Structure 1
Amino acid sequence: MNTDILTRNNVKIFGQGKQSIVFAHGFGCDQDMWRYMVPFFEKDYRVVLFDYVGSGSSQINYYNSDKYNRLEGYAEDVLDIMATLQMEDAIFVGHSVSGMIGMLASIRESKYFERIIMLGASPRYVNDLPDYYGGFNRDEINELLQMMQMNFIGWASYLAPIVMQNEDRKELSTELEKSFCSRDPHIARQFAEVTFLSDCREELEYSSIPTLILQCTDDSISPPEVGDYLHTHLRNSTLRQMQATGHYPHLSHPEETTKYIKDYLAIS
């Protein structure tokens, strides 16, 4: 077992089951974001949590700007973890950009994956009108990236409540803002640029793993058109509309999110 990889990505393993379920966090977050959902899976699965390099308690000295200038660099790390832990037919739960990272990893090495759960994922955030609506104009993405570079703290406090979308629960926005602010600003900006300018639409046709697409209500990052697009272009996909609002249902609505996942996994 390559302990360097497990240390690099701060991998945590627990649970009582034999089949692995991997929870992969999104941009600006870390594995702690899954803490409300993990207890629901510990009894039946081997739960695997990790942090991408540059996030959480990962080893930042492994960060390589050339490697992580593409989503494929992060997909390589996912495959490294799976190979190190000798996974087969794992369930991969990817929030936001991790939905695409997991898909790219599965295209390269499908043997590690049995199912993929995409939570608020998007193959392309920038509009490509009239054929594709991703939710953002290129100018809006450029302004977001410029704000990150000019005023990182201000960017975090501005964006957190918008993407959390649970105004009656201020503590969730506060937690997300703190998570954003805990990142290295330069690494965070590069990850943001790689995420928001990525385009995985052409890769969708090469994905063969059965996939659950969970679409939230009032998700400012991944609008309903994106969920519909994914469902149309992903073979063996199932689309479910959630009542949960915002982009972080695993934090704001963990019970509902868990139910959708478990109901899907119960279908053999």
Structure 2
Amino acid sequence: MQIPPKRILDQARLSKRNNVKILGKGEKVMILAHGFGSNQTMWRFLLPKLKRHYKIVLFDYVGSGLSDCRAYQENRYDCLDGYAQDIIEICDAFNLQDCIFVGHSISATVGWIINKQRPDLISHHIMVCPSPCFINIDDSYSGGFDMADLNALIELMSQDYLGWGQCLAPMVMGHELSVDVTQSSEEEPMVWELLNSFCATDVTFSLPFAKACFCSDNRHLLKHINRPSLILQSSNDLLVNLEVAEFMAREIPNNRLDIIESKGHCLHMTHPANVIESIKRFLEEN
């Protein structure tokens, strides 16, 4: 079947804009959406197993990784809807439907937005350390951070980007950087990798994304997730506590919550074997 010329042009444009990569042998499509401050390379530990069974779609959000930063539009990317629209455009250009959507952290929320706008695009949600809201709202919901603390973190980001990265990267990975290099742990290279990823992103792009990630309340989307869903949560995550995971498990219809004994917010990097096993079990059951 011949691909229409317009679709070919759209594929080329979006491949450049979002550094789209499609690999794997399976018929079922799986989209891997990276979290804030990272890029598609963070999925590399899962790829050897996943690409044997699925057609894998990788991409970088505009402003991240090897995306085309010239495509950045301030009024488009000041909220999560702009990032969701990018993925919708990728799906339409490459004729992708009924996809398994794997979202790390804030990308899980992006998947919920896509689900509400275009339910034909997603068949299953797999969420790695997600949170609908990082803010402590009231006695009924504790997202983990007071608004004043988040505002201070955003202010630090705008004033001292390196200092902000040095503060956040160990928190995200669940491991501190050693002062003495001879005492470094095997997890420390991942902290440095994330820190370098933070610092490689221009603050012009990352600051609005950070505000959209950390200062929004998307709890209202949970009840609209009408697809089988898997929540993968670290047992010791300084960004997303277990109360948040349990809250989502109560609010999302037809979901499974798997708590993995670990530290940090990046299970797909620190515990890929556990993540693969949970995904396999979930998809076999659904």
TM-score, normalised by the number of residues in structure 1: 0.98
Matched, 1:66 2:75: yes
Counterpart position of 1:196 = 214
- 1:81 paired to 2:99: no
Specify the structure having the higher radius of gyration (Cα): 2
Q: Partner of 1:186 in structure 2?
A: 204
**Equivalent residue for 1:50, pick from 27, 46, 59:** 59
CA distance in 1, matches of 2:278, 2:240: 18
CA contact (8 A) 2:236 2:261 kept: no
Which of 103, 123, 126 is matched with 2:132 structurally?
Answer: 123
What is the rounded CA distance, in whole Å, between the counterparts of 2:173 and 2:123 in structure 1?
Answer: 30
Matches within 5 A, 1:164-175: 164-167=173-176, 168=185, 169-175=187-193
C-alpha distance in 2 between matches for 1:105 and 1:223:
25
> Structure 1, unaligned stretches of length 5 or more?
none
**How far apart in 1 are the matches of 2:168 and 2:225?**
32
Q: Please point out which of 232, 243, 247 is paired with 1:225.
A: 243
1:261 is matched with: 279
How far residue 166 of structure 1 moved from its aligned partner, in angstroms, is 3.4
Query: 1:179 and 1:217 mapped to 2: Cα distance?
Result: 25
| Alignment partner, residue 21 of structure 1 | 30
Task: Using the TM superposition, give the Cα deviation of residue 12 of structure 1 relative to its aligned residue in structure 2, in angstroms.
Answer: 0.2
Deviates more, 1:190-199 or 1:163-172: 163-172
Aligned residues: 268
Q: Give percent identity, aligned residues only.
A: 36
1:206 and 1:212 map into 2 onto residues whose CA distance is: 15
2:165 corresponds, among 152, 156, 159, to 156
What's the CA shift string for 1:75-129, capped at 9, x where partnerless?
1111111111111211000000000001110111111111010111100000101
Matched residue of 2:113: which SS?
helix
Structure 2 letter corresponding to 1:214: L
Query: Gapped runs of 5+ residues in structure 2?
Result: 1-6, 177-184
Q: Does 1:177 align with 2:177?
A: no
Contact 2:39 2:65 in 1 (8 A): yes
Following superposition, the deviation at residue 6 of structure 1 comes to 2.0
Q: Which residue of 2 aligns with 1:246?
A: 264
**Segments ≥4 residues shifted beyond 4 Å:** none
Superposition RMSD on alpha carbons, in Å?
A: 1.0
